Structure 1
């Protein structure tokens, strides 16, 4: 079977919903033992249930990725059970606003999760991967590469994720550690539905269509499409790939305005 992850362990942050859930499920379907790191364990319940119903193996740990001590303790605990082969840094939060209406507290909050959270988890995992190699996938964004209207703080953090990916790939290739990132455009997740419902309660359908058409392909991506790309990058079939940014955007970057 291609993309066979049998015997490998995969740690997915924010694996309880949306893209993280889809990645956790598809990695488990292909044989990986999945460890989910979630701030609130209740958020991982549905993911655990789906994986187990499909015959996969999964564990969940309550973890705030912004808390370095907590991250180190949990990843050390997981590493005691065996090597960590895959880390998917998926946990992240968003913010709407330009530089003038982005408060210092907003900037700090996004930094703690989207940048420091990736740093915390990658640093802890690399320490366990240096012996046997491994794969790190960071969730970046189209906002890492192009300007997005009213997304100052979010774009800043995702730009950092992209450059952290490049640095890790270069510094640790000698240890057999591959590091790549995925840069999605708008993906249809529960977060998107909640955002529309909260901010546009009187015209949800219209706004969903408008946001969908932001992508030249005419729709949002699905979490499963992101997960399938992550599966490939985590597998041995992608063993020649490191230090790359994979854009998954329905033509957003190259076709908008043409």
Structure 2
């Protein structure tokens, strides 16, 4: 898609949740470079304000900052209210976090917060924005899931389960919205350069967040799911081709060996 066609289809404004770091930050930078005005959402508004000033200076785009903690179940409704009347053509539901380790050792309240951020928020945002996008007759939704949502991942069980919901949500909506002019893509990245991975040892095949964002936007019409890194695409295609018991046992042993 040519740049002008991309802006006409998904512009003039894009909303990005989790925009203060990682892939969300990279989406904001890439969209600003493509001429989009932005609504940036995250808890850390100081980072968003600094980002907004930088994007105004470098790209000349207008940016609105909304502070929101998506672990609050009411936050998506407030976002919908605060953006009413804004011509948002692209919704990037990116906010999320993970919990890794033996399932029973993890804090139950932290898992509950993770489900609210990773599952409740994208579902409610999609529910609210789809009628607006349908009224426009064009637009797009990007859900950030994970390759770990494609199969149950031992020692990442709760996170994997939360991202499986996102994958199913995106796939179902991709099917429902055929013929409406609304494109849906569920991004399934592997290990990505971010604050979350900066201090972890032994991680290889890290993909730059800027590359993830650029490739995702370039493939927005290639839904329903998209894995931006060839290494992880091949790995999970192989795992999903195996008998499920064999795949899960192999993954569990591999995680034990790393511990």
Structure 2: segments with no counterpart, 5+ residues: 240-259
The SS at the match of 2:184 is strand
Partner of 1:248: 228
Contact 2:71 2:113 in 1 (8 A): no
Partner of 2:21: 17
Q: Residues 139-185 of structure 1: CA distance to partner in whole angstroms, max 9, x if unpaired? A: 01110113434111110111111000011112222432221111111
Alignment of 1:185 with 2:185, yes or no, is no
The SS at the match of 1:71 is helix
Partner of 1:232: 218
Partner of 2:209: 223
Q: Residues 65-111 of structure 1: CA distance to partner in whole angstroms, max 9, x if unpaired? A: 34454322332332313x22000011001101233223432321210
Distance 2:191 2:50 in 1: 23
Aligned residues: 232
Structure 1: segments with no counterpart, 5+ residues: 197-206, 213-218
Moved more, 54-63 or 94-103: 94-103
Distance 1:75 1:187 in 2: 29
- TM norm structure 2: 0.81
1:159 pairs, out of 154, 157, 164, with: 164
Partner of 1:3: 3
2:139 pairs, out of 134, 143, 149, with: 134
Distance 2:229 2:155 in 1: 19
Moved more, 154-163 or 43-52: 43-52
Partner of 1:120: 124
- Once superposed, what is the RMSD of the aligned Cα atoms? 2.3
Q: Structure 1 residue runs of 4+, over 3 Å off?
A: 66-70, 146-149, 255-258
Q: Kindly indicate whether structure 1 or structure 2 has the higher relative contact order, using CA contacts under 8 Å at least 6 residues apart.
A: 1
Contact 1:142 1:249 in 2 (8 A): no
Contact 2:76 2:125 in 1 (8 A): yes
- TM norm structure 1: 0.81
Moved more, 222-231 or 147-156: 147-156
Distance 2:197 2:185 in 1: 25
The SS at the match of 1:87 is strand
The SS at the match of 1:31 is coil
